[in-house]
Amino acid sequence: MDKNEDFKRLLLEQLDRLYFNALRLAGGRSADAEDLVQECAIRAWKNAGAFMQGTNFRAWLYKIMLNVHLDLCRKKNIRNEIGGINEEITEVPVKNSEDFSAHEEIERLRELLPEELARALDALSDEHRLIVLLADVDGFSYKEISEITNKPIGTVMSRLFYAREALRKSVRP
């Protein structure tokens, strides 16, 4: 089989999981999540030669997606400052026929989690939530999370510990 075909197959196998996490990074906005996954796939394809065989392909993709997300956030902040707006923009997702399936997906995921846990997870900072999702939902190791987030392993371990503690405290009576 062709190297390009192997890479394409690996990439296609990960798109659903990427989208799930992109939804979380994009605050549930399906259009932003789709843009994030699309840009991630484009960058991965362009940089296919940089992927080292025998390493974790999924972790490599998540690192690309996180970098894309950070780039997009920086661009939004620059546009906001140029426009004279220094506040964080909060967007209200508009429910239309194109977004309906993504909203259904978010609702389905929320149904899987107890309401208290979903609220507690949403209350975490973006950094803590990301580390919890990477560790507890996607099953990445400390080392892999460290590589994805560009944070030292000790920082990953600490943030995961404090995030889990916050979740425990939030859901305990």
Q: How far apart are the first and last CA of the chain?
A: 56
Rounded to an integer, the average pLDDT of 126-152 is 87
Check residue 79 and give its pLDDT.
55
Answer yes or no: do 14 and 64 share one domain.
yes
Q: How many domains does the chain have?
A: 2
Across 87-120, b (16+ Cβ under 10 Å) vs e yields eeeeeebeeeeebeebeebbeeeeeeeeeeeeeb
Report the CATH number at residue 136: 1.10.10.10
Question: Do 86 and 152 belong together in one domain?
Answer: no
Are 3 and 36 in a shared domain?
yes
Taking the C-alpha atoms of residue 70 and residue 47, their distance in angstroms, rounded to an integer, is 18
Asked whether residue 3 falls in the same domain as residue 80, the answer is yes
What's the pLDDT at 78?
Answer: 60
Domain membership flag for residue 132 = yes
Does any domain span residue 100? Answer: no
pLDDT in tens, 73-125: 777 766 555 444 433 333 333 333 333 344 454 455 455 556 777 777 778 88
Among 25, 35, 30, 36, residue whose Cα is nearest residue 122: 25
In a domain, 138, yes or no: yes
> Does residue 1 sit in the same domain as residue 61?
yes
Question: Which residue range forms the structural domain that includes residue 121?
Answer: 113-173
45-68: per-residue pLDDT in tens?
A: 888 888 888 788 888 998 898 888
Look up residue 52 and give its two tokens.
């080292």
Question: Which residue, among 52, 17, 28, 27, has the nearest Cα to 40 in the 3D structure?
Answer: 17
Same domain flag for 85 and 151? no
